[in-house]
Structure 1
Amino acid sequence: MTYRPVAAMPADTTRIPLWPLPLLITLLFVVAAHAAYLLSIQGGHVPACMPYTEGCVSISRAARHGLGNHLFRLMVIPCAVLHALVWWLSVRWLHGGRAMLLLGVLSAFALAVYATFLGTEGETYRFLRRYGVVVYFGFGYLAQLALMRRASLSHALPASTIAGMSWIALAMLLLGVANVAAGLFVADPAAKDRWENVFEWWLGLLMVGWYAVLAWGWRRQGVSVDLKPHAPM
């Protein structure tokens, strides 16, 4: 993996930019969640509202039924594979970070488990879905912090990119704190559910939005892989 200028490349080398991969994570997840919600509304499975402010439905419930469930799983499972690939490439790009890789891959695996069992019934499946979400957000957040630290120390990303990532990370932390506070201080169960749903939608958007900022940084730095043609025997 390299980010050399094109002029420095051998004439027979094909350069493949990597920034579309993290950007595709953002697009797949955002489209999957919102398209599934619209299909569930059309199917009469969930109420219609603005989930980012009214919290009438969680992401999980929005994608649990009918065609929306199939679409969500069809898009999010490849999204989980892209997560793992981006973390593997990040370790090669930053020349290290095994803990970051482990956290990122476990987060990706948890997302795949969550999407696979979404819409199924039974205590075991509910456990897998619940802890799939917790591990995805928790381990994914820690992996993002680790990448930001390594990229900042090695000057592998522009300061503006690190700043954008940092603001997103701070917003996710504040949302997590607000979610805990709502659980402790909001007495009405219905109101508590609405707040948790609002926080979930925003947290999901911020989590995958972080990858869009990474894509922007990789594009600015020209992060790529170089493919050389096979030499005949």
Structure 2
Amino acid sequence: MAGNVHGPGSGLPLWGLALAAALIPLLTIHLTYLVSAMEGHVPWCMPYLESCTSISRTGRHGTAYFIFKGTMLPAAILGMLFWWLNPHWLRQLGATPGRLGWITLLGVTACLALVLYTLVLGHVGDGFRLLRRTGVVLYFSLTYLAQLLLSQALSGAPGWRRRGQGLLTLCVVTLSVAMLTVVLQVVAYDFYQGIEDSFEWIIALLVNAHALWVAVLWRRSRFSASIQVDHDG
């Protein structure tokens, strides 16, 4: 039995996997916020604007603790598959193969960082805090780099330049937001401390928006897979 990943044609459509990899983390953080707020662990607010709670805090206590771990760990596995499949997709679109291997390496490592972050979330102590911080920083930074390489590769594929440029523009927006946080920490640290959590929510939204866009492009390109059974003798 052998599995084949291929472009337009018959087979099992793969865009649903990409959609799940993008949507599950995004839906999870909003669900855990709502559950945590209902249980009184975080205040009611608009976290994108009011900076009332971090994403981490929404999954530390009560029912949300189990929801976060029970959804983010499968999401990380889906993410690994998503990043493993992206170079196959790009090759079939005619992208230059030069850096495609880095996309998988960066993306899978980012998902492993998400696993680390998810496992230690809710545990108290300086060591756990360091692991949690390391996990979230690696997850966002490596995911961004993988998305940037994917966008660049897609912009070089015949017939896909405009869509690749659109993804690159989204990457520029994400980088601009991240750089703004750095600048504010230097020039207005006290002010930044009051809005830091909102930036975290915005960056998470932008990162998942990129993945959602890629899922739509997988669907438009009819990216699919098939399983072939080989009979010996």
TM-score by length of 1: 0.89
| Partner Cα distance (2:147, 2:141) in 1 | 10
Contact 2:39 2:62 in 1 (8 A): yes
Query: Is the 2:155–2:162 contact (alpha carbons within 8 Å) kept by the matching residues of 1?
Result: no
User: Contact conserved, 2:153 with 2:164, CA < 8 A, in 1?
Assistant: no
Query: Residue 45 of structure 1 aligns to a residue in which SS?
Result: coil
The answer to whether 1:4 aligns with 2:8 is yes
Instruction: Check the 8 A contact 1:161/1:216 in 2, yes or no.
Output: no
Aligned AA for 1:90?
Answer: N
Aligned mate of 1:107, from 97, 105, 110:
110
SS in 2 for 1:52: helix
How far the C-alpha of 1:173 sits from its partner, in A, is 0.5
8 Å CA contact 1:107–1:137 kept in 2: the answer is yes
State percent identity of aligned pairs: 35
Per-residue CA distance 1:112-146 (angstroms, 9 max, x = gap): 11111111111111111001011001111111111
More moved, 86-95 vs 34-43: 86-95
Displacement after TM superposition at 1:184 (Å): 1.5
Q: Is the 8 A contact 2:12 2:225 kept in 1?
A: yes
Q: Among residues 72, 78, 81, which one is paired with 1:82 in the alignment?
A: 78
Q: 158-167 vs 31-40, which deviates more?
A: 158-167
TM-score by length of 2: 0.89
Describe how 1:190-205 pairs up with structure 2 within 5 A.
Answer: 191-205=191-205
Matched, 1:48 2:44: yes
Q: Which runs of 5+ in 1 are unaligned?
A: 7-14
Q: Deviations over 1:24-81 (max 9, x none)?
A: 1222112110111111111111111100111111111122111111101111111111
* Matched length: 222
Counterpart-to-counterpart distance in 1, 2:201 and 2:139: 14
Q: Is the 8 A contact 1:37 1:62 kept in 2?
A: yes
The AA in structure 1 aligned to 2:82 is: V
- Corresponding residue of 2:26: 30
Structure 2, unaligned runs of 5 or more: 92-96
RMSD: 1.7
3-state SS in 2 of match to 1:49: coil
In the other structure, the counterpart of 1:121 is: 124
Provide the residue aligned with 1:9 in structure 2. Answer: none
Does 1:177 pair with 2:173?
Answer: no
CA offset digits 1:81-120 (Å, max 9, x no partner) = 1111111111233345222211111101001111111111
Deviation above 6 Å: which 4+ runs of structure 1?
A: none
Residue 153 to residue 62, structure 1, CA distance change in 2 (3 Å): same
Inter-partner Cα distance in structure 2 for 1:3 and 1:166? 23
Amino acid at match of 2:61: H
Kept after mapping to 2: 8 A contact 1:161/1:213:
no
Shift of residue 181, structure 1, vs aligned partner: 1.7
